[in-house]
């Protein structure tokens, strides 16, 4: 954090030399909608924006069992991020293709990848999982729903194993629909689910002491952004990691406790493609995540196995142009 006024002035002079109209507009927009508790009240909005851009970017995937669609479909708490953007998914009340949404926490820029829970669309789940830094495994607390997902051939087991196999080593377990337990918001039911899921994820390789378990109600927004008073027995989650320990009560706090993955920028550029679009008046747009190396505008890159070469005209994330160089993130 920057405290000294002279340091702010120095940063401001440096930033104004590389300012664009887009950056000015975005800085003003963010300054109006966000609360900067860590900055002096008289700081220039542009300086705030530039300092905030230093935050890490994090990709999180939500994988959920079919019965848990109620959270994805009706939950509205974090800017409606879990509402399916595809009409077919809304009509059938299940996720078919992956969808991407973003929001910002105090620590990270977070990209949410909503992946299908139904076994018929597991191919799309694999596509989403391959781009994630952290998995949010959603299990339902309702009678019969959790048992179906954790059974021998259940989707909860399959998705947890899939995430670990695809290299997603950090996980948050969200116990949803706590309002449907008997009695509602049951401590016993939460502990039962936590015990069973902990045993399984430990078996497949996760360090279970580093996994946060958060009881929520997606319907009411309990424990998603702010702690709820409906579960007085819940004292919060705590995790132990080699890097650092952490604790909290909400899902948002659990996301901020994720440790950023290593960024191997010293290695050659490798960017596996997940999609390719042809857009009129723009050209071919490739979508993927930088796994190693650095991606910059005006770079000449080669595509395998065709060995076709092309120049990078621009880099975008969530339809917003990015300047500079970027590593290990999902780009277009």
pLDDT of residue 45: 64
pLDDT at 277: 80
Q: What is the per-residue pLDDT for 126? A: 62
Higher pLDDT, 282 or 4: 282
CATH 2.40.30.10 in the chain: give the residue spans. 273-331
In DSSP terms, 289 is beta-bridged to 330
Per-residue model confidence (pLDDT) at position 12: 46
Mean of pLDDT values over 104-128 = 68
pLDDT at 39: 52
Q: How far apart are CA 299 and CA 292, in angstroms?
A: 15
**Residue 61 near residue 115 (C-beta atoms within 8 A):** yes
Is 60 exceeded by the pLDDT of residue 70?
no
Quickly state the pLDDT bin for 36 (edges 50, 70, 90).
Answer: very low
Task: Name the residue with higher pLDDT: 56 or 114.
Answer: 114
Among 168-172, 216-220, 288-292, the range scoring the smallest mean pLDDT is 288-292
Give yes or no for residue 180 having a pLDDT over 60.
yes
Ranges for all domains in the chain classified under CATH 3.40.50.300: 56-256
User: Alpha helices of the chain — where are they, by DSSP H?
Assistant: 5-16, 21-33, 45-52, 69-74, 87-92, 122-129, 145-150, 155-165, 187-204, 251-256
HSE (CB half, 13 Å, CA atoms) of 128? Answer: 28
Q: Determine the average pLDDT of the residues in 139-162.
A: 88
pLDDT digits (tens, 9 = 90+) for 250-308: 999 999 998 887 778 889 999 888 778 888 877 888 888 888 898 888 899 999 888 88
Question: Could you give the percent of the chain with pLDDT greater than 70?
Answer: 61
Helices (H), 166-311: 187-204, 251-256
**pLDDT at 287 (0 to 100):** 83
CA distance 30 to 264: 31
The more confidently predicted of residues 266 and 190 is 190
For residue 102, list its beta bridge partners: 111
Task: Domain 273-331: give its CATH superfamily.
Answer: Translation factors (2.40.30.10)
pLDDT at 238: 95
For all residues of the chain together, what is the average pLDDT? 73
User: pLDDT over 90 for what percent of the chain?
Assistant: 26
CATH superfamily, with its number, for domain 56-256: P-loop containing nucleotide triphosphate hydrolases (3.40.50.300)
Rg of the chain on CA atoms, in Å: 21
- Mean local confidence (pLDDT), 319-329: 60
| Least confident interval from 74-88, 90-104, 132-146 | 74-88
């Amino acid at each position: 954090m920057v405290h000294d006024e002279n340091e702010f002035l120095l940063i401001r002079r440096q930033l104004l030399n590389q300012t664009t109209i887009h950056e000015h507009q975005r800085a003003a927009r963010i300054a109006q909608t966000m609360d900067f508790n860590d900055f002096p009240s008289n700081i220039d909005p542009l300086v705030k924006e530039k300092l905030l851009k230093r935050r890490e970017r994090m990709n999180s995937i939500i994988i959920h069992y079919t019965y848990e669609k109620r959270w994805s479909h009706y939950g509205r708490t974090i800017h409606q991020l879990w509402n399916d953007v595809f009409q077919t998914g809304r009509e059938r009340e299940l996720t078919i293709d992956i969808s991407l949404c973003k929001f910002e926490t105090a620590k990270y820029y977070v990209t949410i990848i909503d992946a299908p829970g139904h076994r018929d669309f597991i191919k799309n789940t694999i596509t989403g999982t391959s781009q994630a830094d952290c998995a949010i495994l959603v299990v339902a607390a309702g009678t019969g729903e959790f048992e179906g997902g954790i059974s021998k051939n259940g989707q909860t087991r399959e998705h947890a194993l899939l995430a670990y196999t695809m290299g997603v080593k950090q996980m948050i377990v969200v116990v949803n629909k706590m309002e449907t337990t008997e009695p509602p918001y049951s401590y016993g039911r939460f502990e039962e689910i936590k015990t069973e899921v902990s045993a399984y994820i430990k078996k497949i390789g996760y360090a279970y002491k580093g996994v946060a378990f958060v009881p929520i109600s997606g319907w009411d927004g309990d424990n998603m952004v702010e702690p709820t008073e409906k579960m007085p027995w819940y004292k919060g989650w705590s995790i132990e990691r080699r890097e650092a320990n952490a604790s909290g009560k909400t899902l948002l706090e659990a996301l901020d406790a994720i440790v950023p993955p290593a960024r191997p920028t010293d290695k050659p550029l490798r960017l596996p493609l997940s999609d390719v679009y042809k857009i009129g008046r723009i050209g071919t747009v490739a979508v993927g995540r930088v796994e190693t190396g650095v991606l910059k505008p005006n770079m000449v890159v080669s595509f395998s196995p065709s060995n076709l070469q092309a120049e990078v005209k621009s880099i975008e994330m969530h339809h917003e142009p990015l300047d500079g160089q970027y590593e290990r993130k999902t780009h277009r």
